[in-house]
Amino acid sequence: MKSKNSLFILFAVMFLVMVGFGIIIPVMPFYAEEIGATPTQLGLLMAVYSLMQLLFAPMWGRISDKVGRKPIIMVGIFGLALSFFLMAISTQLWMLFAARIIGGFFSSANMPTVMAYVADITTDEDRGKGMGIIGASVGLGFIFGPAIGGVFSQGSLSTPFYLAGASSLITFILVALVLKESLSTEQRNRQSKKKVPLLVAFKGHLSILFILQLFVSLSLSGLEATFAYFAYEKAQLESVELGYIFMIMGFAGALVQGGVVGRLTKKYGEGAVIQLGIIISLIGFTLILFIDSFTTAAIYLTVFGIGNGLIRPSVSSLLTKKSTSGHGSTTGLLSSFDSLGRIIGPPLGGLLFSMAVGLPYISGIILSLFAFVLYRMYHTQAKKSEPSTS
């Protein structure tokens, strides 16, 4: 019962965090342009956030192993709130960059520490379910956040940033008052005494799973960066229709992560679910090449979204089961690889699209095939060292 209550609280926390993050998504380009940002500077503004997450997620994860999950989650959320308020009062471009750097630095603590918390409170049998619930909260937050931001930007472009900051402060208070620490004093002391390198989780056959997640993130971010242009070329779909399509995809992904991943991993194991997710994503990428209307775009993108939704929670679950370096160190490094894919993916997708409109999706097929091969490599090596590994 305790773990169920904690999972519900974590679901609410990550949902509110992602709503706050999502609120500013539709507003940021116009807000930055109003201050004087060029398209290139806007791209850098987006990239610097992911860069900070790439650099600092492993650090926060490792610190959470030593001092506990709750204080690091609180630091991450408070820092995110601060960055939103700083953006709201920004009058020059350097101020926006400073706010994004601060936001990226602190928010990089949230996802790895929450995933580590889930690993702390769940049994091996229910680990996939816990990770899936967190994935669902993130997906739903990204659905509702942009819609709220679009509505509240009508009066003033700065309003959504104040709203996002207020949402983060409410989340901070929720964590402070309701969330219990998942690591005992003894566990924290034991981790504090360990003198291990920051990237110790990246070793042996487990390193293959981190690279697999990089490929998955790379292909997803390439799709997200180019699909609007692709959908217009293939079916003349406009922004409103695209919004509905991504909303349908998001709901399907959240439903799969929140209700299906746990059951599948419990019955068949994370390995089978990872492979199933990769295959469905590959089918989705293939189908996307043939969209010709709103209906086919919605269906085919949803197929991809379902496959993608199966992978990340299962990889997180498997890694936290098999790694001996501490849950925080492991999830922090996984978040870092995820961020690396989100940094490389958009410009690579844009480059491929400029060469041929279908290339980002053909590359997604190829990356999915690589990811499948990587998992088979992991499985083979894991069987040699641990005969019981799934």
More confident: 4 or 260: 260
How far is it, in rounded angstroms, from Cα 15 to Cα 19?
Answer: 6
Exposure string (b/e) for 269-297, b if CB count within 10 Å is 16 or more?
Answer: bbbebbbbbbebbbbbbbbbeebeebeeb
Cα separations in angstroms, 7 against 60, 129, 242, 359: 21, 10, 32, 40
Among all chains, which residue has been given the structure tokens 């990587």?
374
Instruction: Indicate the class that CATH gives domain 204-385.
Output: mainly alpha
pTM beyond 0.95, yes or no: no
Give the pLDDT score at 142: 85
Nearest to 145 by CA among 29, 259, 280, 247: 247
Give the pLDDT score at 313: 94
Each residue of 323-366: pLDDT tens digit? 888 889 899 999 999 999 999 998 899 899 999 999 999 999 99
- Considering the domain 2-193, what is its CATH architecture? Up-down Bundle (1.20)
Judged against a pLDDT cut of 50, whether residue 389 lies above it is answered with no
Judged against a pLDDT cut of 80, whether residue 321 lies above it is answered with yes
Average per-residue pLDDT for the chain: 90
Give the pLDDT score at 274: 97
Yes or no: say if 338 and 200 are a contact pair by the CB < 8 Å rule: no
Give the pLDDT score at 390: 45
Yes or no: say if 363 and 99 are a contact pair by the CB < 8 Å rule: no
The torsion defined by the Cα of 272, 278, 283 and 289, in degrees rounded to 10, comes to 180
Average pLDDT, integer, range 149-166: 88
Q: What percent of the chain has pLDDT over 90?
A: 64
Q: How many residues does the chain have?
A: 390
Yes or no: say if 135 and 313 are a contact pair by the CB < 8 Å rule: yes
Phi first, then psi: give them for residue 182, nearest 5 degrees: -90, -20
Judged against a pLDDT cut of 70, whether residue 123 lies above it is answered with yes
How far is it, in rounded angstroms, from Cα 6 to Cα 143?
Answer: 23
Give the pLDDT score at 38: 84
Give the pLDDT score at 5: 83
Yes or no: say if 174 and 20 are a contact pair by the CB < 8 Å rule: no
Judged against a pLDDT cut of 70, whether residue 197 lies above it is answered with no
- Which residues are CB-neighbours of 117 under 8 A, at least 6 positions away? 6, 10, 69, 73, 182
Tokens at residue 286, please? 């293939």
Phi first, then psi: give them for residue 323, nearest 5 degrees: -75, 145
How far is it, in rounded angstroms, from Cα 110 to Cα 92?
Answer: 28
Do the domains at 2-193 and 204-385 have one common CATH topology?
A: yes
Any long-range contacts for 204-207 (C-beta under 8 Å, 24+ apart)?
204/381, 204/385, 205/377, 205/378, 205/381, 205/382, 205/385, 206/319, 206/322, 206/323, 206/378
Give the pLDDT score at 362: 96
Each residue of 250-309: pLDDT tens digit? 899 999 999 899 999 999 999 999 999 999 999 999 999 999 999 999 999 999 999 999
Give the pLDDT score at 315: 95
Give the pLDDT score at 363: 96
Judged against a pLDDT cut of 90, whether residue 47 lies above it is answered with no
- Going from N- to C-terminal start, the domains of the chain cover 2-193, 204-385
Cβ count near 238 (within 10 Å): 11
How far is it, in rounded angstroms, from Cα 51 to Cα 44?
Answer: 10
Each residue of 56-107: pLDDT tens digit? 999 999 999 989 999 999 999 999 999 999 999 999 999 999 999 999 999 9
